Amino acid sequence: MDRIRASCWSLECVVIVLLLFGRVVCRRTTINSQWKWKIMLNNTGVVAMHMAVTHQNNVVIFDQTGAGPSQYRLRKCKARGSGDSSCYAHSVEYNVLNNRVRALHLATDTWCSSGSFLSNGSLLQTGGNGAGSRRIRYYRPCGNSRCDWMELKRQLTVRRWYSSSLYLPRENGVIVVGGQGAFSYEFVPKSSGSGKPYDLPFLHRTYERNSKGNNLYPLLHLSTDGHLFIFANRDSILFDFKRHKVVKKFPTIPGKGGRSYPSTGSSVILPLDHKDNFTKVEIMVCGGAARGSYHAVQEGRYLPALRSCGRMVITGNHHRWRMENMPGPRVMSDMLTLPTGGILIINGAKRGCAGWDSASSPAFEPYLYRPNHEPGQRFQVLKPTKIARLYHSSAVLLPDGRILVAGGNPNNEYISHGVAHPTELRLQALVPEYMSNRFDHLRPKNLTVMYPQDAPGVANGNTFSVSFRLGTGLSNISVVAYAPPFTTHSLSMNQRMVRLECLSTEMGGENTVVATVVAPPSIYVAPPGYYMLTVVNGGIPSRSSWVRIL
């Protein structure tokens, strides 16, 4: 043990001890302190249980309506009593440029609901608790201060609490899957037929009665062949939602413990790439809770979370999980895809599971996972925050390159003192190392997207132009399109990163470059909608501009 201590730096590294052929090997993972944390607001007024970035460069933040009074009191409202929460906002819109919030109005409870962006940029939001469990809501972003939530008169067919949703490009609607006591799925708007929900035996099979289901908030991803990848608990399938038929059953992910709520791991599709014609689709699932965690919490015990990640290619004919360990255990983390192709793992806890007061030991250090590095060298530990981001926290990638982090409320109400982890209303930004001014000579600037013949966007398979300025020459340039997710409960619903083909680059005056870029060939590679377009030069990304894929 003395030799281990001597060969590792205790304050500057995370030690991983491996037993190889009877020998003790010490591997050092240094902390990258070049990533910076910044407080944006000391009080958003509303817990960021749910968060989404719109193409108007605003962030919609909302909580449950039943958590009591928030910290943002509405004007022109007469309270019916001291505990009346109807005079308080439960949703706000954060203006990124002005660093301000304004109140939005939610009519019904959005507690543990789901959401997806449609092709016109509207956020379609479904389900919740109580009177909100069957509600369908829209938020259509605009360039002024008049945008607000709208609720439809028609409702979901069954209660959807802890359900997931995914945008379906052909239908220009969403599929809503699962929920507490709901072992089914349905479409919004309704597809042809009776309008009744469709039973999904997979959800019955993955249900654990003594663990609050352990298959709530199933992980959903759209494959490039148009089929739906569904992961719940520890199992997954490829599902043809048009024929209501299971296409493939994948191997169970190794390891003991669950990965779905309340075990709450997280997942991403690794970036899709034009180099293989978008035929390779690889899913990554990380973290979760140890077996028995939900029951242990009822007894006041917080078991160590899972530290393993699994990667599996879901296309082709051969499927197996390739496992590797994170630098530490993690439950309730968020996973975001960065324009460099790295995966950010942030927020969450090291022990316990999801739920009120069900986790301990906040995970302060984000991890950066680099998929193309060699095994054993893929994880990098980033500079830690000082703010616990536990249950009901979230994170999103902003067009300017920062990661916005907010929320955290392991309490049943808004509580500011007298508990281990008070309600967290501070808004932070994590600033990546590559945004430092010392990389400005490589950074593409002043991005402008030019559509053909003044069209409102670019259709699949068509070309468009991107102009930008460079202070130096081109260096291994790439162009990526990012579909911003709806984030809640460690899910980044509909998140997608697509590496586009760049046919040519031409140098113009004043260090201007014009790149001719090909839009993805299929609606299942890049479903219609608004994407953040980023040019990466020599590993340094630009600020993003919005591009609309028709």
Tens-digit pLDDT profile for residues 481-525 = 999 999 999 999 999 999 999 999 998 888 899 999 999 999 999
* Average pLDDT over the chain, rounded to an integer: 92
Are residue 22 and residue 47 in the same domain, yes or no?
no
Dist. CA 120–CA 227, nearest whole Å: 23
Q: How confident is the model at residue 15 (pLDDT cuts 50, 70, 90)?
A: very low
Dist. CA 314–CA 320, nearest whole Å: 9
- Total number of domains constituting the chain: 3
Those residues whose C-beta lies under 8 Å from the C-beta of residue 459, and which sit 6 or more positions away, are 519, 549, 550
Are residue 20 and residue 77 in the same domain, yes or no?
no
Are residue 299 and residue 150 in the same domain, yes or no?
yes
pLDDT at 169 over 50: yes
Average pLDDT of the residues in 249-273: 97
Are residue 454 and residue 347 in the same domain, yes or no?
no
Of the candidates 329, 358, 326, 328, the residue with the CA atom closest to the CA atom of residue 343: 326
Are residue 249 and residue 348 in the same domain, yes or no?
yes
Are residue 359 and residue 443 in the same domain, yes or no?
no
Domain of residue 343, CATH code: 2.130.10.80
- Which strands, in side-by-side order, build the sheet including 173-177? 164-168, 173-177, 184-188, 198-199
Are residue 191 and residue 209 in the same domain, yes or no?
yes
Are residue 25 and residue 83 in the same domain, yes or no?
no
Average pLDDT of the residues in 432-459: 95
User: Cα torsion for 270, 271, 273, 279, to the nearest 10°?
Assistant: 30
Considering 435, 463, 480, which residue would you say is the last residue of a domain?
A: 435
Are residue 196 and residue 152 in the same domain, yes or no?
yes
Considering 435, 456, 471, which residue would you say is the last residue of a domain?
A: 435
Q: How confident is the model at residue 66 (pLDDT cuts 50, 70, 90)?
A: confident
Q: Please give the structure tokens belonging to residue 522.
A: 């299929």
Pairing verdict, β 198-199 and 184-188? antiparallel
pLDDT of residue 6: 30
3 state SS of 205: helix
Are residue 420 and residue 445 in the same domain, yes or no?
no
Give the predicted TM-score (pTM) of the model: 0.93
Q: How confident is the model at residue 277 (pLDDT cuts 50, 70, 90)?
A: very high
pLDDT at 19 over 60: no
Of the candidates 195, 188, 193, 190, the residue with the CA atom closest to the CA atom of residue 166: 188
Q: Please provide the distance, in angstroms rounded to a whole number, between the alpha carbons at the two ends of the chain.
A: 60
Q: Which range marks the domain in which residue 532 is found?
A: 437-549
Are residue 41 and residue 171 in the same domain, yes or no?
yes
> Quick one: the chain helix, strand, coil %, rounded to 5?
5, 40, 50
3 state SS of 455: coil
pLDDT at 18 over 60: no
